[in-house]
Amino acid sequence: MAKLLEMPKLSPTMTEGQLTVWHKKEGDAVGVDDLLAEVETDKATMEFRSFDKGTLLKVLVPTGSLVLLGQPVAILGTPGEDISKLVPAGQGATGQGATAPTAPALKPPSGTGQASATQPQAVPAQAAPAAPREPREPAPAAPREPREPAPAAPREPRDGRVYASPYVRKIAREREIDLGVVSGSGPRGRIVARDLETVPASAPSSAIHALAPRADSDEVRPLSMMRKTIARRLTESKQTVPHFYLAIDVDAAPISRIREQINDDLAAGAPRNGAAEASPPKVSVNDLLIKACAIALGRVPECNASFTPEAILIHRRVDISVAVAIPDGLVTPVVRQADKKSIVTIAHEVRDLAARAKAKKLRPEEMTDGTFGISNLGMFGIDSFAAVINPPEGAILAVGKIREEPVVWEGTVVPGQRLALTLSCDHRVVDGAVGARFLAELRGLIERPTQMLVY
């Protein structure tokens, strides 16, 4: 018995996904747990595996399609089966075993007058006044036929087009909302008025969004799922989270020295049993900063907190998200329980997360539920900057590069190393004095870094 394969929910917040590659083609045998396709969701590229075995009779959405959750993507069955009833309207049954003419299994939503007018309607005898003619038997209620539920309508790939009601487009024009970052709850993902209820008033980037591309001078790059997510989440953060910033400049010489010593010692102490062992572990300044932040957050838990409308949540776990730049955007994998992990363990985890982030192989749950963020642009030569908070985190530390510069030491100018740190705080959770206390703890740990080795 042939069955429709539908787009599964591959992440908790997924509403649609871009089918980036099919790993099976029509006619291929499919086993349980075989990789069918890869799907780019709002979070990551996910594997779409088969729950059944059989033969892939028909592919319903081509590579690159944007597919809504639950939308049929393929038909699985046995070769020679009649699948014509499963092929949605508008798609020819060209797959294997298609013998009968296409018969749409799914009806389009009834929206036209004629369609809705010809829908059977429930008929409780209306309270019409008696006619002056012969009294007639009151018309009893006729059986009510089940109506095809609207969501069963075939959902077509959106091809990057934004579907929105005219009224929504009017509101969007007036309130300068970029509809590209709003997800629609209507048929085929249509954005309807209720979907705008949670969208903040006016996007400051509206002037850019309002620009119409000019064929001669603009290259049009369609928004990837990740770009849409970045746009939506950061806009939401900057518009709804009251940011304020605390900046300090710390002596980075001790942390540079201890990093060198750790790496030398790790190299010297690494087992030398031939090629089987890869290069010895190394730690970076950033790994040390993750550890330092984790310890400081333990000492100032008010900075390890999230705002909710009902209460402030002070987290007992210290899960630090690390912004990782990848070719077409950035992601924020999370080092869990960083306060309980050794520096080498943290280093190893960050390396693994970053590598998989670049390969888009992170699972969504590896990128959610951080309690504090770190963003380091030192490797790009940035002296100092302020980062945007990644909700629901309550704060994020922006780390610049270690600067070689003259410093005054015991009355004389000597060569020194400085590091600029900027803490962006959600003022609903973290007040200035609390943020300052956290930075004081952090400075103490960075400037006397052997503490990190013993906590």
Partner 1 sequence: MSTIRYREALRQAMIEEMEKDDRVFLMGEEVGYYQGAYKVSEGMLERFGPQRVIDAPIAEGGFAGIGVGAAMVGLRPIIEFMTWNFSAVAFDQILSNASKIRQMSGAQFTVPIVFRAPNGSAAQVGAQHSHAMEHFYAHMPGLKIIAPAMPADAKGLLKTAIRDDNPVLCFESETLYSVKGEVSDDPDHTVPMGVANVVREGKSATVIAWSRIVHVALEAAKTLEKEGIDVEVVDLRSLRPLDIDTVLASVAKTHRAVIAGEGWPYGGVGAEVSDRIQRLAFDELDAPIERVQTMDVPMPYNAKLEQLVIPQAAGIAEAVKRSLYLQ
Residue 133 in contact with partner 1, rule: CB under 8 A? yes
Q: What are phi and psi of 416, to 5 degrees?
A: -140, 175
The CB-of-294 to partner 1 minimum distance in angstroms stands at 46
Q: How far apart are CA 227 and CA 191, in angstroms?
A: 19
Q: List the one residue from 1, 141, 212, 414 that touches partner 1 (CB under 8 A).
A: 141
122 binds partner 1 (CB under 8 A): yes
Site string for partner 1, 372-401 (x = CB under 8 A): ------------------------------
Q: Tokens 């396709």 label which residue?
A: 37
Question: Closer CB to partner 1, residue 188 or residue 361?
Answer: 188
Q: Minimum Å distance from CB 110 to partner 1?
A: 8
Q: β-pairing, 324-326 with 329-331?
A: antiparallel
Q: Report the C-alpha gap between 340 and 196 in whole angstroms.
A: 42
List 1, 25, 126, 216, residue binding partner 1 (CB under 8 A): 126
**Residue number with CB closer to partner 1 (108 or 298):** 108
Is residue 185 involved in binding partner 1 (CB under 8 A)? Answer: yes
Using rule CB under 8 A, residue 186 touches partner 1: yes
Q: Which residues are catalytic?
A: 427
In the complex, least distance from residue 4 CB atom to partner 1, rounded to whole angstroms: 23
Question: 149: which 2 tokens?
Answer: 């539920």
**Distance between CA atoms of 385 and 376, rounded to whole angstroms?**
9
What's the token pair of residue 65?
């399609």
Which of 114, 412 has the CB closer to partner 1?
A: 114
- Residues 140, 127: Cα–Cα separation, whole Å: 12
Restricting to residues 274-293, which ones interact with partner 1 according to CB under 8 A?
A: none
Q: Could you tell me the smallest distance in angstroms from the CB atom of residue 142 to partner 1? A: 4
Minimum CB separation from partner 1 for residue 191, in Å?
A: 10
Q: 93 and 20 in contact (C-beta within 8 Å)?
A: no
Query: Measured from the CB of residue 187, what is the shortest distance to partner 1 in angstroms?
Result: 8
CB of 137 to partner 1, least distance (A): 6
Choices 30-38, 116-124, 300-308, 445-453 (CB under 8 A): range interacting with partner 1 = 116-124
Instruction: Give the range of 67-75, 146-154, 423-431, 437-445 binding partner 1 by CB under 8 A.
Output: 146-154
User: Could you tell me the CA-to-CA distances from 97 to 34, 62, 172, 206, 249 in Å, in that order?
Assistant: 22, 19, 47, 51, 71
Q: Which residue's CB is nearer to partner 1, number 32 or number 152?
A: 152
Please give the DSSP secondary-structure letter assigned to residue 289. Answer: H
Provide φ and ψ at 369, rounded to 5°.
Answer: 65, 35
According to the binding rule CB under 8 A, does residue 170 interact with partner 1?
yes
Question: How many Cβ atoms sit within 10 Å of the Cβ of residue 370?
Answer: 26
* Half-sphere exposure (Cβ direction) of 209: Cα atoms closer than 13 Å: 17
Q: Which listed residue (128, 220, 278, 433) binds partner 1 by CB under 8 A?
A: 128
First and final C-alpha spacing in the chain: 61
- Structure tokens, 279: 């290069």
Establish if 146 lies at the interface with partner 1 (CB under 8 A): no
321 DSSP 8-state letter:
E
Label residue 127 exposed, middle or buried (CB < 10 Å: 0-12, 13-18, 19+): exposed
Q: Decide: is 197 part of the binding site for partner 1 (CB under 8 A).
A: no
Number of chain residues interacting with partner 1 (CB under 8 A): 45
Binding site for partner 1 (CB under 8 A): 110-114, 116-133, 136-137, 139-142, 144, 147, 149-150, 165-170, 185-187, 192-194
